[in-house]
Amino acid sequence: MILEQLLPAETALKIVIYLLGIFTVLSIFVIAFTIALRVYHIIQNQRELRLKERFSTLFFQYLDNPDDPDVLSKLKAIRDKGAFFNFVLEYLNILKGEDFKSIMELIHIMGIPEELQRMLERRDRWQRAYAAFFLGYLKFKPALPQLLAAFRDRFFLVSFYAARSVIQIGDPHYYRDTLVHLFRIPHISSYQRMEALIELDEEGLAVARELFREWEELREEVIKLFVDLFAYKKYLPAAEDILLKLLSARNRELRISCVRALGLLNYTEAIPILREMTRDQDWVVRSQVLRALGRIGDIGSMPEFLAAMEEDNFWVRYNAGLALLDLGAVGIEQLRRIQQDENHPAHEIAEQILVENKAMAA
């Protein structure tokens, strides 16, 4: 051996034994460390299971009776707020809608909002996203500075949830900047933006209307969002602006949204223009116009409704029938007349609408 050639046999043997001893000690250390680590994980898992079991018992006792003072005192005594919040997050995956309000009240009672406020500063982007999401539902105003700072977060969901939470908290000083930011966040769908917009209160809707009127070059997608928002919230002050957008709109979806909104807002000033649109070449637009006139309750459009009931397109006839139904007794009388005339092209539609209306009335 090379070692024997360089060193005396006895010295070489000692070195080999020494190296083997070091290797043995290291092996024992690694084995001991692995066993200790395994034991630690087992203990931690058992602790987490006991905690979850305790959390689960108290949590569901609270949901059964939110006013139980004994349960509330035990919940308040929980020290590891972060662990309890993580348990709540797991439950939210199978959440029943009726529990959500109670859970938000519980989180507030336990002082978890302060924990969420600290979570906004953490490195884990999902922790920041969860924090931004819940602080709005809790309407935790002390977190406003952190939420506004989170607009600049590199993770788009944190930025979005922060904007929605600022709207939910409801401080009018920040509405304008928040709405401008909301439409600049990348990777967010129109549906998600609408989720945030519908949280606006009356003052927020007024700011939204200002932006709707001031922004000269709005994307059609954004215009449609504003129109749908005003219709959903029944915000009548925006009806005139929607009518102006309808007159200048060329996009089919935008025209339909404007027409539908005017009907839902019962904007009578739009009747002359809507009557003209009953002759629109696009049958989808035409059918929505008829429905809108019905919602407004324009009895003067009876000739247009009756003419539409004789059109070839099923959906035009159907929406004209619903418009007649919206007119009340006068329209229902016309539907019955059409139902009794077996040669009328809308005979079956009139019968269907009357039957459905009778069932709903019952």
The residue count of the chain comes to: 362
pLDDT(96) > 60 = no
pLDDT(140) > 50 = yes
pLDDT(360) > 50 = no
> Residue 269 corresponds to which amino acid?
E
Residue 222 included in any domain: no
Separation of CA 244 from chain center: 29
Residue 125: phi, psi to the nearest 5?
Answer: -65, -30
pLDDT tens-digit readout, 256-277: 999 999 999 999 999 999 999 9
Q: Which of 6-15, 236-245, 285-294 has the lowest mean pLDDT?
A: 6-15
Supply the Cα-derived Rg of the chain in whole angstroms.
33
Q: Which of 90-99, 144-153, 195-204, 339-348 has the lowest mean pLDDT?
A: 90-99
Residue 231 included in any domain: no
For all residues of the chain together, what is the average pLDDT?
Answer: 87
- Tell me how far apart the alpha carbons of residues 279 and 296 are, in angstroms, rounded to a whole number: 18
pTM of this structure: 0.76
Q: Could you give the C-alpha distances from 198 to 191, 347, 351, in angstroms and in order?
A: 11, 40, 37
Q: Which of 53-67, 182-196, 292-306 has the lowest mean pLDDT?
A: 53-67
- Tell me how far apart the alpha carbons of residues 159 and 82 are, in angstroms, rounded to a whole number: 22
Residue 53 included in any domain: no
Please answer whether residues 290 and 304 qualify as being in contact, where contact means their C-beta atoms are separated by less than 8 angstroms: yes
Please answer whether residues 185 and 160 qualify as being in contact, where contact means their C-beta atoms are separated by less than 8 angstroms: yes
DSSP string, 229-267: HHHHTT-GGGHHHHHHHHHH---HHHHHHHHHHHHHTT-
- Within 13 Å and on the Cβ side, how many CA atoms surround 123? 0
CATH of the domain at 361: 1.25.10.10
- Tell me how far apart the alpha carbons of residues 187 and 157 are, in angstroms, rounded to a whole number: 9
Q: Could you give the C-alpha distances from 18 to 3, 21, 24, in angstroms and in order?
A: 14, 5, 10
- Within 13 Å and on the Cβ side, how many CA atoms surround 151? 17
pLDDT tens-digit readout, 235-256: 999 999 999 999 988 889 999 9
Per the model's pLDDT, the better-predicted residue between 362 and 180 turns out to be 180
Assign 313 a pLDDT band (cuts: 50, 70, 90): very high
Domain region containing 314: 266-362
Give me the mean pLDDT over the 216-240 stretch: 91
Per-residue pLDDT, 3: 47
Per-residue pLDDT, 156: 95
> Residue 5 corresponds to which amino acid?
Q
Per-residue pLDDT, 4: 53
Residue 285 included in any domain: yes
Residue 337 included in any domain: yes
Per-residue pLDDT, 329: 92
Give me the mean pLDDT over the 293-319 stretch: 95
Q: How many other C-beta atoms are found inside a 10 Å radius of the C-beta of residue 242?
A: 27
pLDDT(67) > 70 = yes
Q: Which of 1-5, 106-110, 192-196, 292-296 has the lowest mean pLDDT?
A: 1-5
Residue 353 included in any domain: yes
Give me the mean pLDDT over the 80-92 stretch: 76
Give me the mean pLDDT over the 314-329 stretch: 95
Number of domains in the chain: 1
Q: Name, of 104-118, 327-341, 346-360, the range with top average pLDDT.
A: 327-341
> Residue 109 corresponds to which amino acid?
I
Per-residue pLDDT, 281: 93
Per-residue pLDDT, 68: 82
Give me the mean pLDDT over the 149-174 stretch: 95
Per-residue pLDDT, 178: 96
Let me know if 104 is exposed, middle or buried by CB neighbors in 10 A (0-12, 13-18, 19+): middle
Per the model's pLDDT, the better-predicted residue between 220 and 201 turns out to be 201
What tokens appear for 139 in the block? Answer: 């309407």
Residue 11 included in any domain: no
Per-residue pLDDT, 6: 55
Residue 346 included in any domain: yes
pLDDT(338) > 60 = yes
Per the model's pLDDT, the better-predicted residue between 57 and 189 turns out to be 189
Dihedral of alpha carbons 175, 180, 183, 186, sign: negative
Per-residue pLDDT, 334: 94
Contacts of 222 (CB under 8 A, 6+ apart): 183, 215
Share of the chain above pLDDT 90, in %: 56
Per-residue pLDDT, 209: 95
